[in-house]
Structure 1
């Protein structure tokens, strides 16, 4: 992988604070994919076994709401990751990932990451601790949204 990919990995929240050699090891097990506007990276209900890191472009995370159509949950850009829940559990995808703006993605498979984490325990600790921080932050955001909806009577 090129130096720009290693640098991009270091800017992604999931790999925040990881030493350069660790980033190089992660980069070595990734592949690159490009998508055009309107492409679907994955759909809700699909088997999840990959983490996607956005190098360029934008991805819209959404769900289909019966009778209403697509509800955008987030629009993610360069330096953000999506699909990380599939690296932790064996549940189907919980939302759609659609290309919002032509993009270049770095793809990390569950199998490749598990192999790397097994071989490098220090790197495993750093990555898993970052996972905990991210998921904790998302849970807090969800709790805040639920509280807001409850208080405003929109729930």
Structure 2
């Protein structure tokens, strides 16, 4: 995938909305392209992979697997938390707080993702104040949107 195609893809992602083409290119130059088969685990719950992933093609799901890393107990069954498609991203929790992955992310079909490691992301954000402001604002809006959706789900369950 050429840098022009990567930059074009990043331009269409809500996370990078508001960034200029040169800024998108600087991000794209730091990303690696990864291909996965259906059923591959991209991130395992409890894994210390501090990175941001952008889905280029395919679909993935965020799961709490039956086996709980580091514990003897098991969940009664796997729990699907979210299904994600092209244009969406994951890994942002670990990217922000540096903690281990809170769930597993598994492909449901052949998928292609872009990955930027935490150190490269931090370096870019530290060097590029305007870029950091835009990206962190978009992340904050994403978190607020997710919280509002969960609030609505909880409200519906209590009614």
TM-score normalised per structure 2: 0.89
- Map of 1:140-155 to 2, 5 A cutoff? 140-151=148-159
Bigger mean CA offset, 70-79 vs 115-124 = 70-79
Give the structure 1 partner of residue 116 of structure 2.
Answer: 108
Q: Secondary structure at the match of 1:69?
A: coil
Determine the C-alpha separation between the residues in 1 that align with 2:3 and 2:26: 12
RMSD (CA atoms): 1.3
Confirm or deny that 1:12 pairs with 2:10.
no
Shift of 1:48: 3.3
Return 5+ residue gaps in structure 2 as ranges. Answer: 67-73
Change (3 A) 1:67 1:114: closer
Q: What's the offset of the Cα at 1:89?
A: 0.2
Is 1:58 the counterpart of 2:90? The answer is no
Contact kept, 8 Å, 2:3 with 2:29, in 1: the verdict is: no
The answer on whether the counterparts of 2:45 and 2:102 sit within 8 Å (CA) in structure 1 is: yes
Number of aligned pairs?
151
Tell me which residue corresponds to 2:126. Answer: 118
Structure 1 length-normalised TM = 0.92
CA distance in 2, matches of 1:99, 1:67: 21
Which 4+ runs in 1 deviate beyond 6 A?
Answer: none
